[in-house]
Amino acid sequence: MEIVLHEASTNTPCVTCGRSDDVIKVPVNGNVNGDVKEEDRIFSRLPQKDPIDITFENITYTASLGFRKGQKEILHNINGRFPPGQLIAIMGPSGAGKSTLLDVLSGYRISGIGGTVYTNGRPRDLNAFRKLSCYITQDDRLQPLLTVWENMKIAADLKLGENIPIYEKEDIIREILDTLGLAASINTRAGRLSGGQKKRLSIALELIDNPLVMFLDEPTTGLDSSSCSQCVKLLQELARQGRTIVCTIHQPSASLFQLFDLVYVLSSGDCLYQGTTEKMIPFLESVQLPCPMYHNPADYVIELACAEYGEDKIKTMVEATNNGKNLQWFDKPEFLPSLRKLRETHKSIAEKSKGGHLQSTSQANQLKILLRRGFLKSKRDSTLTYMRIAVNILVGLLFGVIYWQAGEHGGKVLDNYNLLFSILMHHMMSTMMLTILTFPSEMSILTKEHFNRWYSLKMYYLSITIVDLPLSIFCCVAFTAITYWMTGQPLEWQRIGMFTVISLLVVFVAQSFGLMIGAIFDVVNGTFVGPVLSVPMMMFAGFGVTLRDLPPHLYWGSYISYLRYGLEGIVGAIYGLDRPTIYCPDEDYCHYKYPEKFLKEISMKGDQFWNDVIALVLILFFLRIVAFVLLRWKLMAVR
């Protein structure tokens, strides 16, 4: 899809000309490169609801240090207030509790928390609050294979619902991209954007549904000074429109520090200062800690928070601010309404957002949009798609050359048996390891999008299951066709069908096994755990040790090994169904030219196909359910 940039006209609205899937015209208020001048920045989508005043009292957060290691309190009964229309910075040295406080206020963390968070004077209803807010993580969790426009289009379809016309959604997207200076990069894939562009795109995605509150974790991390300034100025502009914007920031420059309206300084979980940036120096003077001349106040307060001038200075500042209760260093604190006044003025803000689903669109529409995104990603993914196809074809050819016509030779029955087990190993390892290696990278994106109410976990899980079906079936069938023909297996439709069905089921089960591991482990641990857990599957499959030779106390393992049912199924497809005597050249002695004799030798029966299918289907459903439960647990565990 080609997207053309043109100068906006005051008389003619920007419309899509020609076919909608071919050309999209985007107005650019800046120059031809899409850079937006400060005076031209206009974001007309003002908040349509009452602003939100956030107050928190006696907030504590206790984290577990690990098994039998006890707990540690990170935040110590801190208090504070974040009025609307303000750009607020939470500052402090590393380990001060900045990100923890941001997580608590945004609702990202829900366990180990004490105290109360108020919105407009009322105790916060978390679900209602989440509908009015968004959380932008420190790392830019974007879909790298989708362009800027495609990322925005998917977000708009998920966050704006089905009732808004397509042209209106596109107008909203154009305006946001134009305002954030991303119009020139509209056809660029997100993975190829610069650091500043990725940060702006992360903000743009969440601006689509016009949130009242925005939480950003270290939005300037990894950016140069110019990009930092642009990013903070953009946030300042959004705050001026009535939004409450809260950022964590480590150690800003003096010029960057002045762009913030309010600053909240933390040290080891205590509040050292809360107020405007302009009043920080008078506050420091009031506690006998004047900022040295020509010294950046932001650097100086961080030095104080790090106890470079002594622990007693920290205690003095905490007492002066009453751990965040003192609001005298705000701009005109006498005009700040009390909690009671806020409660009376904004009676219905929570009630308006209560009820219904957290997501903005129906589950059926979520599934449709996620499927569209999934198939688009699959089409562009060189690892998950094209390399997977190539590997299956090449390995199929390799097996075919090594075991050429072994299936129709009575003297090569054992070789053919080795081939059948090798086929199962290929299906298991290639599918399982691919899932283990690729799914953890999706977890970070899933965590962000799911928390920001893009879609439900059920629809996401269903979509990734459906999206992978066509490719899994194609790769398995292509591999099976090549291997089956080149190795000389019996060309009977019934046997071919049985062989293919068992192969597909083993692929689906191995993929579910990999998904289960990928849901709870990172790539490094998953690549270790996956093969280790696969070893017992191979041991109990009946290949190296026949089933009759398994010790009685270990025989139960054969019932939970899906490779056992896979091996029994494909062996039955090749040598079962009363297969006649296998051709054997006269000069050779063929010990296993009688299929029944061979099946008896390996302790297998040729009439267990449907039992094997049922067992594999049950294991498949069990692993899929377990993978979903573990995925939900992982999403909740991080909170």
pLDDT tens column, 350-405? 555 555 678 888 999 999 999 999 999 999 988 778 899 999 999 999 999 999 98
For 614, counting Cβ atoms within 10 Å of its Cβ (0-12 exposed, 13-18 middle, 19+ buried), the class is: exposed
**pLDDT score recorded for residue 8:** 36
Q: Who contacts 307 (Cβ-Cβ below 8 Å, separation ≥6)? A: 267, 313, 314
Q: pLDDT tens, 163-181?
A: 889 999 999 999 999 888 8
Tens-place pLDDT, residues 398-426: 999 999 988 888 888 888 999 999 999 99
Task: State which amino acid sits at residue 446.
Answer: L
Tell me the C-alpha distance between 471 and 332, whole Å. Answer: 63
The size of the chain, in residues, is: 639
What domains does the chain contain, in order, with CATH numbers? Answer: 1-40+139-210 (3.40.50.300), 363-637 (no CATH)
Residue 590 has pLDDT above 90, yes or no: no
pLDDT value at 271 more than 80:
yes
Judge residue 572's burial from the number of C-beta atoms within 10 Å of its C-beta, 0-12 exposed, 13-18 middle, 19 or more buried: buried
| pLDDT tens, position by position, 187-243 | 999 999 988 899 889 999 999 988 999 999 988 887 888 888 888 988 998 898 889
For residue 270, pLDDT beyond 90: yes
Of 35 and 304, the structure prediction assigns the larger pLDDT to: 304
Of the pLDDT bands very low, low, confident and very high (cuts 50, 70, 90), residue 34 is: very low
Give mean pLDDT, residues 548-554.
79
Give the model confidence (pLDDT) of 286-338 as tens digits.
Answer: 999 999 888 889 999 999 999 888 889 999 999 999 999 999 999 887 778 77
Least confident of 287-296, 341-350, 450-459, 542-551: 341-350
Measuring CA to CA, how many Å separate 331 from each of 51, 215, 262, 270, 290? 18, 22, 9, 22, 20
Lowest mean pLDDT among 130-139, 264-273, 494-503, 539-548: 539-548
State which H helix or E strand residue 319 sits in: helix 311-321
